[in-house]
Structure 1
Amino acid sequence: MNEVSKAVTASNEQTNASNELAVEVAGKMGQLDAKADDAIARAEADYNTKVGELTTHAIEGHKKAIEDASGGRNTILIDAQGNSNIMVRVPRFNYEDLNAKILELTGADLQLGSGIPTMFQTNGVPRGEVYIAKYLASAGANGGCSVVGGAQPRTLVNYDVAKDLCSSKGDGWHMMSIHEWAAIALWSLANGTVPRGNTNYGRSHENKLETARRHDNGMPGDTAGTGRTDTGKGPKTWAHDHGAWGVQDLVGNVWEWLDQMKLDDGQIITTLDNDPSIAEVNWHRHGAYFDSPSDSQTGNGNVGAPILNNAVTKRNGPVDDDSHDYPYMHGSNFAGITKGVSYTPSEILRRLLIESASATNVPGAIYARNYGDRLPRRGGNWHEGSTAGLGALNLYNARSLASSHVGFRPAFFV
């Protein structure tokens, strides 16, 4: 073999050796990389587990602290989206006790009957308690909402979005219903703790020393700017029991969407008890209507207080028209509206604070349109003044309304 051939052979052998070494080194580096990646992944998993454990521990600690401080009246629930929800446990009571106490305190016989309030019945099955959000819903993680104090209420959501935000929290969750609102309102009346609230631009119109921080940091009572206040920042008298552990901000601040009731071309439609699983199309159509004192369909102003009747004899807009292009009805006291001579009073509507046996009841105005589909809001907002209250009922708008004046409140079945 000549010298050139020997040199080529030596070069090839060196190249092969170098390639083998490179493969070996690459394999070992890959093994090192895999071990490093595995170590990092295990460290991250361990870190995340410990963070999760610490978070759970913190939540459980917070929950125990709230439950201990409130005597079990408040608790924290974490929903399916990981959001915290401070809830008020509302235990069952009965109608006869409410009625007797209201009669004693006010002289008004509201004719509520006897038995378990519809709030505590689902398809006829009684419940021992229901959890109601302590505060209006506020922004939350993962597309959801939270129930926490010191936050701005979540607004600009229409009826269907608000309802979905509540039900998306998981099993047992739902938007506060007409049954729950009315039972709590009647309980407050019976206990002499009807709440005030933010009804005058950051303060109560009834007691102007009762204030809370405004969204715009404005002066309480200043009609400029946005007078909406943070959740739960008002005094105890803004709670349903006038206490630290009650349901806050039912009166004023923002109107609240409620479920399980609507007005369809003037006809009152509800569920018969507190059952959010019933499809809207299957809600009960009562033989009760909000009739108008006028048959005017001119303009879009107020034609006067609605009249409870067994039919609509005067309608202020076309049937099935969800617009706001025609007149509406308004009365300053929902409990004082007239009943038609042929109207048959309804116990369940009295229980739901849609009808009243006496003009003395929880305060609040009524707004209604007896044409189209109207979904209910209750409570009033920050500039409603004396028209706000636990009895305030707004059937003025269609379900599509999304306003900075309107929020919502979740509830939960144990």
Structure 2
Amino acid sequence: MSSIAEEIAGLKVASATQTAASQALSQEVAGKMAAIDKKTNDSIAKVESTYDQKAAGLTIIATDGYKKAIEHNSGGRNTVVYDAQGNPNIMCVIPRFNIEDLGLVDLNLGTGVHPAFQTNGVPRGEILIGKYLASTANGGSAVIGGVQPRTSVNYDVAKELCTRKGANWHMMSVHEWAAIALWSLANGTVPRGNTNYGRSHEKKWETARRSDNGAPGDVSGTGRTDTGKGPSTWNHDHTNFGVCDLVGNVWEWLDQFKLDDGQVITTLDNNPAVAEANWHKHAAYFDSPTDDQTGTGSAGAPILSNAVTKRNGPMNDDSSDYPYLTASHFAAITKAVSYVPNELLRKLLIESATTATVGGYIGARNYGDRFPVRGGDWSYGANAGLGALNLGHPRSGASSYIGFRPAFFV
């Protein structure tokens, strides 16, 4: 019996020893497999990291190469800025200038740096303006040529689309528009544009592709043209490197300016960070020659005054249910005897000391909140121009005739 017990005990010891050996082997195998898995994962991660770095490097090289090509071909007058959505934006570099150096003595513009190049009193060496109108390309508001401009967005949406592009982006301001217009006037390069359904009303052989592929001058269909497709005379400097389509094609929303129940309100210099409620209220109003509030037609030409004595609609009414004011040239409107001329408003092409300036229609409603569009559209003919100013739209207005242009601070 004892020998059997001893044998059983021996078998148990042998079994335990074998089990321990098996477990040790299993652990050794598991450890080696884990080491193999780690090496494999490390190798994969290294390959992926290397790929990502090379891909990122290639992207940087590609985007940097594109930017350098644009800058090289334009002699530095154009550049490329990538926005938060990753879209390339072709921008025109507008260097700072002194007002007195323009030689536009009759316009009585004063001296010093134009306010487009100052932010809260601090000068800027240059500003970047979208070479083209904003487009719908890549789902954003990319500034690229040869596409249709983005339209049918109201003032607030257009402004938000510009600021969404990232830090230092903003919608083109009334200051920036006026600076470019005055520079063009001084240099003899006031642009023409799509002012007659795909062609210039002045030089009818100057054309660009219409959105509907219609014939130039055909008043049926949509006469809006692709961005930058016109000749160089449609650019602010009459070269291929200038700001395109400021005149005609579509009106453009501008920031830092509004008409509130007839009163002119602007920022004092080019500062998009100033809240609208803090814009400066000028002693300048668009008065009317009549207090007629019947119908929705023209009540005559606006009068620059120090007060509104005749209003064509109820105060705080943003509708278009009452008459409006209009004149064929913004610079030709009458000034009331009591009106004190405003130098800043002359610098912004809101008033003028002479009609020997850029051309363009003016329209306004001296009731409600009104936000500016400038330049005219494809149907405006001689009423379009760098001075064209429509102050009839509420902030909620949206139309296929209105677009916008991003700008950038460097």
Q: Same fold (TM over 0.5)?
A: yes
> Which amino acid in the other structure matches residue 94 of structure 2?
V
Q: How does 1:293-332 map to 2 (within 5 A)?
A: 293-332=289-328
Give distance in 1, aligned partners of 2:232 and 2:316. Answer: 43
Alignment match of 1:180 (pick from 166, 176, 187): 176
TM-superposed CA distance for 1:22, in Å, is 12
Give distance in 2, aligned partners of 1:218 and 1:47. Answer: 48
TM-superposed CA distance for 1:52, in Å, is 2.7
- Other-structure match for 2:115: 118
Higher alpha-carbon Rg? 2
- Other-structure match for 1:16: none
> Which amino acid in the other structure matches residue 342 of structure 1?
S
TM-superposed CA distance for 1:51, in Å, is 2.9
TM-superposed CA distance for 1:29, in Å, is 9.3
Give distance in 2, aligned partners of 1:25 and 1:398. Answer: 76
Asked if 1:153 corresponds to 2:149, the answer is yes
- Other-structure match for 1:364: 360
- Other-structure match for 1:15: none
Alignment match of 1:389 (pick from 385, 390, 399): 385
Give distance in 1, aligned partners of 2:352 and 2:389. Answer: 13
> Which amino acid in the other structure matches residue 355 of structure 1?
E
> Which amino acid in the other structure matches residue 64 of structure 1?
K
> Which amino acid in the other structure matches residue 155 of structure 1?
T
- What is the SS of the residue equivalent to 2:387? strand
Give distance in 2, aligned partners of 1:372 and 1:309. Answer: 17
- What is the SS of the residue equivalent to 2:179? helix
Q: How does 1:3-402 map to 2 (within 5 A)?
A: 43-100=47-104, 109-141=106-138, 144-402=140-398
Give distance in 2, aligned partners of 1:98 and 1:359. Answer: 17
Q: RMSD of the TM alignment (CA)?
A: 3.0
Give distance in 1, aligned partners of 2:324 and 2:71. Answer: 46
TM-superposed CA distance for 1:89, in Å, is 0.8
Give distance in 1, aligned partners of 2:62 and 2:83. Answer: 16
Give distance in 1, aligned partners of 2:30 and 2:389. Answer: 75
- Other-structure match for 2:17: none
- The two structures have a TM-score, normalised by structure 1, of 0.89
TM-superposed CA distance for 1:157, in Å, is 1.2
TM-superposed CA distance for 1:41, in Å, is 5.9
Asked if 1:408 corresponds to 2:404, the answer is yes
Give distance in 2, aligned partners of 1:400 and 1:38. Answer: 56
- What is the SS of the residue equivalent to 1:162? helix
Give distance in 2, aligned partners of 1:161 and 1:115. Answer: 34
Give distance in 2, aligned partners of 1:317 and 1:36. Answer: 77
Q: Deviations over 1:165-221 (max 9, x none)?
A: 111222211111000000110110010000000111111111110001111111111
- Assess, with a 3 A threshold, how the Cα gap between structure 1 residues 38 and 111 changes in structure 2: closer, same or farther: same
Give distance in 1, aligned partners of 2:69 and 2:335. Answer: 50
Aligned length: 406
TM-superposed CA distance for 1:49, in Å, is 3.4
Alpha carbons 1:99, 1:110 under 8 Å: kept: no
Give distance in 1, aligned partners of 2:47 and 2:327. Answer: 66
> Which amino acid in the other structure matches residue 314 of structure 1?
K
Alpha carbons 1:196, 1:204 under 8 Å: kept: yes
Q: Deviations over 1:52-110 (max 9, x none)?
A: 3222211111111111121111111112221111111111111112244xx5xxxxx11
TM-superposed CA distance for 1:303, in Å, is 1.2
TM-superposed CA distance for 1:361, in Å, is 1.1
Give distance in 1, aligned partners of 2:294 and 2:375. Answer: 29
Alpha carbons 1:202, 1:220 under 8 Å: kept: yes
Alpha carbons 1:94, 1:115 under 8 Å: kept: yes
Q: Deviations over 1:364-389 (max 9, x none)?
A: 00010000000001011111111111
> Which amino acid in the other structure matches residue 340 of structure 1?
A
> Which amino acid in the other structure matches residue 171 of structure 1?
A
Give distance in 2, aligned partners of 1:372 and 1:151. Answer: 35
- Assess, with a 3 A threshold, how the Cα gap between structure 1 residues 25 and 249 changes in structure 2: closer, same or farther: farther
Alpha carbons 1:144, 1:168 under 8 Å: kept: no
> Which amino acid in the other structure matches residue 148 of structure 1?
I
Give distance in 1, aligned partners of 2:374 and 2:72. Answer: 32
Q: Deviations over 1:237-266 (max 9, x none)?
A: 000000011111101111111000000000
- Assess, with a 3 A threshold, how the Cα gap between structure 1 residues 332 and 47 changes in structure 2: closer, same or farther: same
Give distance in 1, aligned partners of 2:133 and 2:38. Answer: 50
Structure 2: tracts of 5 or more residues without a match: 1-24
> Which amino acid in the other structure matches residue 161 of structure 2?
L
